[in-house]
Amino acid sequence: MARYSEWLLERRFRLVVVVVIQFAVVVTCVGLTAYAAARVQERQVREAMTERVLAVARSLAELDQVRDAIGSGDAEQELQPLTELIQQASGVDYVVISDARGIRITHPVPAERGRPVSTDPSDVLAGATFVGTEEGTLGPTLRAKVPVYRGGLVVGAASVGVLESEIAADLRSSLTAMAPWVLLAMVVGLTGAAGVSAAIGARVRRLEAENAELGEQRRLSRALREQTHEFRTRIHAVYGLVESGESDAALEYLAELAPVTGADTRDGGVEDPRLRAVLGEMAAEYRSRGGRLEIDPLTSTSAGELGADDVSLIANLVINAVEAAGPGGHVHVLVLADEVGTEVAVGDDGPGLDPEALPMMMEHGYSTKAPGGEHATRGVGLAVVWQIVRDRDGEIEVGRSPAGGALVTVRLRRRR
């Protein structure tokens, strides 16, 4: 029992380990996929913002109104409304136009107008275009700076920017929209992993059961081969003694192999000497244990009508009935044999048998009794019976005897 508990605990532990590994793989895969998607989304948001600020800055720098107004006395009054309109329409955070000295003409904050730009404007005023993140008066911004040309000369610069905080907010919004899909993928993955684990567990259990059954069949087959070999050896010894005319020695040898308790005289109707000897010995042995093996008065077995397999079948049925009834029980046997066939009915007063369990009862190794004891190898008798029934194209029925136990009835056709 302790070994079975250890085996069961070990099997459950292996199953838990498999489930944990599968869940870890699913979570890791979904997590890495979500991380990669987030990075892709971040890059796409930043690329979109970069294209927007650069496109707005270039469009602004190419306006004739901007080119003509820079350097004039009323540049601020003319350009500030324009930059505010462009800022609102394009969704950027600021639009700044500066002159050739780097002095701001327009700015969202009025106090910053007329003051030098916060970053070095020399490269842009030299004709270069800049796109990147810089720290400005409004905070870190992704900005684009484009030179403004008039007559082939740089007369100023157009700067358009978006706050990094706004980009981060847009990214958070995108990731929030993606979160339900990540959770859905996680649930589907974990559910699938659980289903796979259940299927694998069921398959493993079936394989273990089949392996255990195969092992039991091999053990029984090996035991039967050993018993058959030993039985043949003893039969050869008995045959040799009888053939040599040493009947007394043969009887002594048989008494050593199977001590005889004395034949029972209540075996009327059993004319076949082999069956009479087998049932007589069984009756005497069972009587020594307080039980009663009763041969039905209607039993009729003419000499020569029973074959070796008939005797083997009856003996196995009686053995199973005696074991089912137990010490002090009652077993009833009826045998009818003629030129047509053989009918055997063996009943007992034991706990009975379930007719629906008949297919399992006919398998090698099946037994309702606990293992061990004087009959260490269980589940052979009924399997032998079933093999004989199949070989003889017979039939077997399981019912309830008048004494309340099992009643097994077998009908066999005569061998041709």
pLDDT, position 362: 58
Does the fold of domain 264-368+377-413 match that of domain 1-170? no
Residue 357 — pLDDT band, cuts 50, 70, 90?
Answer: low
pTM recorded for the entire structure: 0.42
Domain 264-368+377-413's class?
A: alpha beta
Mean pLDDT computed over every residue of the chain: 81
Sheet with 139-150, edge to edge strand ranges: 94-99, 153-163, 139-150, 130-136
Give the best-scoring range by mean pLDDT among 41-50, 252-261, 396-405. Answer: 396-405
Structure tokens at 293: 């093996």
pLDDT greater at residue 105 or residue 260 = 105
Nearest to 241 by CA among 256, 230, 228, 254: 254
> Residue 208's Cα: distance from chain center in Å?
13
Residue type, 104: R
pLDDT score recorded for residue 373: 43
Distances (CA, A) of 270 to 286, 341, 388, 394: 18, 16, 21, 22
Residue type present at position 76:
E
Confidence class for position 377, pLDDT limits 50, 70, 90: very low
139 has a pLDDT exceeding 60: yes
Reading the block at residue 134, the tokens are: 């810089």
Least confident of 275-284, 318-327, 340-349: 275-284
Q: Is residue 333 over pLDDT 90?
A: yes
Alpha-carbon torsion (216, 217, 220, 222), positive or negative: negative
Whether the pLDDT of residue 355 is over 60: the answer is: yes
What band does 363 get if pLDDT is binned at 50, 70 and 90?
low
Tokens (6 digits) for 254 = 């048989």
Domain boundaries, the chain: 1-170, 264-368+377-413
Asked if residue 4 has pLDDT above 60, the reply is no
Q: What is the pLDDT of residue 263?
A: 46
Segment (H or E) for 293: strand 292-295
CATH superfamily of 1-170: PAS domain (3.30.450.20)
Q: pLDDT over 70 for what percent of the chain?
A: 86
How far is Cα 386 from Cα 317, in angstroms, rounded to an integer?
11
pLDDT of 329 reads 93
What gap in Å lies between CA 125 and CA 113, rounded to an integer?
Answer: 18
Closest CA to 396 of 317, 329, 293: 317
pLDDT in tens, 259-317: 555 444 444 567 888 888 888 888 888 999 999 999 998 888 875 678 888 888 999 99
State the Cα–Cα distance between residues 31 and 198, nearest whole angstrom. 24
Provide the token pair at 42. 């971040």
